Structure 1
Amino acid sequence: MRLGFIGTGAITQAVVTGLLRFDFPLERISLSPRNARTAAALAALDKRVQVCESNQDVLEASDVVCLAVVPQIAADVLSELHFDARHHVVSFIAGISIDEVRRLVRAQGKVVRAIPLPAVAEGKGSTAICPADHVAKSLFSALGQAVEVDDEARFDALLAVTATMASFYAVLEAQASWLVRQGLSDDAARSFLSGYSVGLAHDTTRGERSFTELIEHSMTPGGINEQVHDELSKRGTYAHFADALDRVLMRIQGRA
């Protein structure tokens, strides 16, 4: 596979690092020159990685092209490029539909959307793909879990859920701050909570138990897990997540 990236930011860095780390079969990886420092660092990892002189040169050297520019500049960047029918386009651009990407690239090749997250560098996490596509699935299955959907509304819902990353860390920060007030050091609080979170996340990958079943399994009648869960439920804490995600989805779909 000859793989190219238009845009060399954090997500490109994570995807390329993961593909190299897990020995994904590649003939060449071509990078745009926009972020020279990141591109040079990636090129130093493997001789198959090359930094091109222009974005058009990336296209000329690639069959599969990942679009990894921010939405605000996507139209300007892509309008200057000449794609052709051989290009298999994988768009990481949030909020821009497949039809809009196809209009911007002005080519008849396959266009799919994907949401890779930073953890792909470590072969962790999930990547949503729309529509189902064997090329994108082969890439991202090598870097964690690849989840295919054939409806952009469902894809947008998965994208909306990725807006909870900061909230996830904020919950950990609230717990860490509480531990510090109990006399633990910052390092001890962070170390404990990091390992604790990894253990809980790992449990979700074992077997086929639903999240509801995991909740029930974590609680004993009258126990401390039940106490906290009941208190947060009564305060409507969990319901706030759905309300916030509804508003994020409306924003992603241009309805707000």
Structure 2
Amino acid sequence: MSSAIVRGMCTLSTLPMTSIVLSPRGADKVATLKALFPDMVTIAADNQAVLDACDIVFVGVLPKHCEEVLRGLRFQARHTVVSLVSTAPLALLQEVCAPVPTEQVVRAIPLPPVAKHNGATVMTPPHPTIAGLFGALGTVVPVATEALMKKMMPVTALMGQLYAQHLATQQWLVAQGVDAESAAKWTGAVFHTVTYDSAIAGPSTFEELVHEQTPGGLNEQVIREMTEAGAYTALSDSLDNILARIEARPAPVRSTTPYSSAIDVDPE
């Protein structure tokens, strides 16, 4: 994720920073970024050297190393700290990054397309400078509290199931005799096209998009059949289960019925 952010920032037409200083951890990745952006990227001697050279510090270590790494560093009140560690709570980050003011400690969950300026990022607390940076890399949604951010986080887990829909669609086309390359190209293009109107959504955007499908038409049929199969209930249940994991509590207990697709054949 850190590499994606660096790639995104270094390819902006108007740069929001004068330079980017990288930790030497992950030597291969930082060497690649240095080779790609030699005028923007500097590799520091160690993590402390990154802090000494920068005002805004991004933390992208593995969760199990987060506290240990941060406790070993000397922060200053001038720093703004942006944690990309999904499981590190604000209270811990504020403690180990002291004397950084609490309002200058931010949690952010960006998605990889920030590298191409088409990412999505949820962050807390709202911080104008950091929101502006992630806004330049795509869509940013600042929320007021960490509790609200946790409610937003499960949506990022839908990425894999969306790709699974792509794969199932491609495989269905191949089963109909379409070659795999054409099936992949068509599937990707259609999914990308039909989500165009959702890129900048308002409170009623999705309801309007669903309701504009022609009654009795092909799109309405798929919505109806997927609803009858419980697909959208299953989606909501999965989001509930992911939120329970994030909030470290038991998931709701439900009884589920597997979906079976069958074609009724008139025996006559």
How far residue 206 of structure 1 moved from its aligned partner, in angstroms, is: 5.9
How far residue 130 of structure 1 moved from its aligned partner, in angstroms, is: 0.6
Please tell me the residue identity of whatever aligns with 1:180.
V
What does residue 210 of structure 1 align with?
205
Distance in structure 2 (CA, Å) of the matches to 1:161 and 1:77: 29
Distance in structure 2 (CA, Å) of the matches to 1:85 and 1:65: 12
Please tell me the residue identity of whatever aligns with 2:208.
E
Is the 1:95–1:253 Cα contact (8 Å) retained in structure 2? no
Size of the alignment, in residue pairs?
245
Q: Aligned pair in 2 of structure 1 residues 200, 134: CA closer, same or farther (>3 Å)?
A: same
Distance in structure 1 (CA, Å) of the matches to 2:92 and 2:239: 24
| 3-state SS, counterpart of residue 82 of structure 1 | coil
How far residue 232 of structure 1 moved from its aligned partner, in angstroms, is: 0.7
What does residue 176 of structure 1 align with?
170
Distance in structure 2 (CA, Å) of the matches to 1:142 and 1:104: 29
| 3-state SS, counterpart of residue 254 of structure 1 | coil
What does residue 39 of structure 2 align with?
47
2:81 aligned with 1:89: yes
User: RMSD of aligned C-alpha atoms?
Assistant: 1.4
What does residue 232 of structure 2 align with?
238
Pick one of 126, 149, 153 that aligns with 1:132: 126
Distance in structure 1 (CA, Å) of the matches to 2:201 and 2:141: 17
Structure 1 residues 227-248: Cα deviation after superposition (integer angstroms, max 9, x where no partner): 1110110111111111111111
Please tell me the residue identity of whatever aligns with 2:5.
V
2:65 aligned with 1:73: yes
Is the 1:64–1:90 Cα contact (8 Å) retained in structure 2? yes
Please tell me the residue identity of whatever aligns with 1:147.
V
Is the 1:30–1:58 Cα contact (8 Å) retained in structure 2? yes
What does residue 19 of structure 1 align with?
9
| 3-state SS, counterpart of residue 155 of structure 2 | helix
Distance in structure 2 (CA, Å) of the matches to 1:21 and 1:175: 34
**Structure 1 gap ranges (5+):** 1-10
Pick one of 133, 143, 153 that aligns with 2:147: 153
What does residue 4 of structure 1 align with?
none
Percentage identity across paired residues of the two chains: 37
Distance in structure 2 (CA, Å) of the matches to 1:85 and 1:223: 60
Distance in structure 2 (CA, Å) of the matches to 1:22 and 1:242: 37
Report the more deviating stretch, 55-64 or 74-83.
Answer: 74-83
Report the more deviating stretch, 70-79 or 144-153.
Answer: 70-79
How far residue 66 of structure 1 moved from its aligned partner, in angstroms, is: 0.7
Where do residues 98-117 of structure 1 align in structure 2 (5 Å cutoff)? 98-109=90-101, 110-117=104-111
Report the more deviating stretch, 98-107 or 153-162.
Answer: 98-107
Is the 2:82–2:108 Cα contact (8 Å) retained in structure 1? yes
How far residue 205 of structure 1 moved from its aligned partner, in angstroms, is: 3.1
| 3-state SS, counterpart of residue 128 of structure 1 | strand
How far residue 207 of structure 1 moved from its aligned partner, in angstroms, is: 7.2
Structure with greater Cα Rg: 2
Pick one of 133, 138, 143 that aligns with 1:144: 138
Q: Normalized against structure 2, the TM-score is what?
A: 0.87
| 3-state SS, counterpart of residue 195 of structure 2 | helix
